[in-house]
């Protein structure tokens, strides 16, 4: 199985992603780190522990990371994810607690251990990129040993937090820019699973009801998460969201990616936090780049077979 670590802001769809990473036989979940995003860090950490305990994975260390973005004011997305950040499902408080290490130190140790074992870590950030940026800056040697980064964030054409920007990148644009730069500098392959594909893998309320019928705690949680979103958006189905970025690891052929130069807009008044995906057919020839700075080359997910990725989650 593929060694993975998730960085999450749990989050209804982060919870869907955690269940998949915790339980899929093709994935070896080594650590989870928490970052402020959809909710504050205390709620994110509690939600994350609850999901892992429900999945019977108390063995997975959970690290508490950054309480706020590098420069931005903290915001949240409780209007989307519920007052507790995870669908207000009335779940019991977790029995265990987080790891004693700071989340960034846990990332370092997990990356080092995986590289030592000859199976470099795939890091999957599913929230604002604050922890990952701090990881790159504090422990560049360990960051250098990552096998791959697959993050949910940004979009070539589609946005949500503002007319220009996606939530995870908008929440901490400096962190996102720094992570792309660090991946380029350390030659860590990076895949952007952004909003162009994010909404396509969907699970219907009827499928969720069938799941609930299985009668297990995991099935009850999974169906509750889908059900919450269907009610929240008054829709017959819901995206698996962040879980699509994890499903992509299991079924890479379900997603079409193209390697493209990507920059994060840091300065715009109305465009701050937008990912600028250069789809011109110019072959990345820097002679034609007026800025003269090499942008990060990112494998951008442009198309997805939605039902096929949703099937991985189901």
Residues making contact with Ca ion (CB under 5 A): 9, 11, 14, 126-127, 242
Residue from 33, 38, 45, 191 touching ligand BDR (CB under 6 A): that is 38
Asked if 16 and 242 count as a contact pair (C-beta separation under 8 A), the reply is yes
What is the nearest approach in angstroms of ligand BDR to the Cβ of residue 116?
Answer: 30
Kindly state whether residue 43 participates in binding ligand BDR, applying the rule CB under 6 A.
Answer: no
Name the pairing type of β-strands 237-239 and 202-204.
antiparallel
Footprint of ligand BDR on 189-228 (CB under 6 A): none
What is the nearest approach in angstroms of ligand BDR to the Cβ of residue 126?
Answer: 5
Kindly state whether residue 241 participates in binding ligand BDR, applying the rule CB under 6 A.
Answer: yes
Tell me whether residue 88 or residue 144 sits nearer to ligand BDR (CB atom).
88
Q: What residues contact residue 85 under an 8 Å CB cut-off, 6+ apart? A: 9, 10, 11, 38, 39, 40, 43, 44, 47, 76, 78
Footprint of ligand BDR on 243-272 (CB under 6 A): none
Dihedral, CA of residue 200, residue 204, residue 210 and residue 212, to nearest 10: 90
DSSP state string for 159-216: -SSSSS--HHHHHSHHHHHHHHHHHHHHT--EEEE-HHHHTSSEEEHHHHHHHHTT--
Residue from 43, 196, 227, 242 touching ligand BDR (CB under 6 A): that is 242
State the binding partner of 167 from ligand BDR, Ca ion, none, CB within 5 to 8 A by kind. ligand BDR
Place of tokens 């990725």: 309
Kindly state whether residue 11 participates in binding ligand BDR, applying the rule CB under 6 A.
Answer: yes
Q: Which two tokens stand for residue 277?
A: 């995906």
Residue ranges binding ligand BDR (CB under 6 A): 11, 13-14, 38, 77, 80, 126-127, 152, 160, 166-168, 241-242
């Amino acid at each position: 199985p593929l060694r993975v670590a998730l960085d999450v802001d749990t989050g209804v769809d982060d919870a869907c992603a955690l269940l998949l990473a915790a339980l899929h036989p093709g994935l070896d979940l080594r650590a989870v780190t928490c970052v402020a995003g959809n909710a504050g860090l205390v709620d994110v950490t509690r939600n994350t522990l609850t999901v892992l305990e429900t999945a019977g994975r108390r063995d997975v260390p959970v690290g508490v990371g950054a309480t706020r973005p590098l420069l931005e004011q903290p915001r949240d997305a409780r209007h989307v994810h519920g007052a507790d950040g995870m669908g207000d499902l009335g779940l019991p408080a977790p029995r265990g607690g987080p790891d004693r290490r700071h989340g960034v130190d846990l990332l370092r140790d997990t990356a080092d251990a995986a590289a030592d074992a000859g199976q470099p870590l795939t890091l999957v950030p599913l929230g604002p990129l604050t922890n990952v940026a701090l990881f790159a800056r504090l422990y560049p040697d360990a960051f250098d040993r990552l096998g791959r980064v697959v993050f949910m964030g940004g979009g070539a054409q589609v946005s949500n937090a503002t007319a220009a920007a996606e939530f995870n990148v908008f929440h901490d644009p400096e962190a996102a820019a720094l992570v792309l730069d660090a991946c380029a500098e350390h030659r860590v392959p990076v895949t952007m699973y952004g909003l162009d594909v994010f909404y396509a893998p969907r699970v219907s309320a009827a499928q969720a009801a069938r799941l609930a019928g299985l009668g297990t705690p995991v099935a009850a949680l999974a169906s509750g998460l889908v059900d919450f979103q269907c009610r929240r958006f008054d829709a017959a189905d819901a995206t698996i969201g962040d879980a699509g970025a994890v499903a992509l690891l299991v079924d890479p052929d379900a997603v079409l990616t193209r390697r493209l130069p990507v920059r994060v807009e840091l300065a715009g008044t109305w465009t701050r936090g937008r990912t600028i995906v250069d789809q011109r057919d110019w072959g990345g020839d820097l002679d034609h780049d007026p800025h003269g700075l090499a942008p990060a080359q990112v494998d951008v997910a442009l198309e997805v077979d939605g039902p096929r990725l949703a099937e991985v989650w189901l």
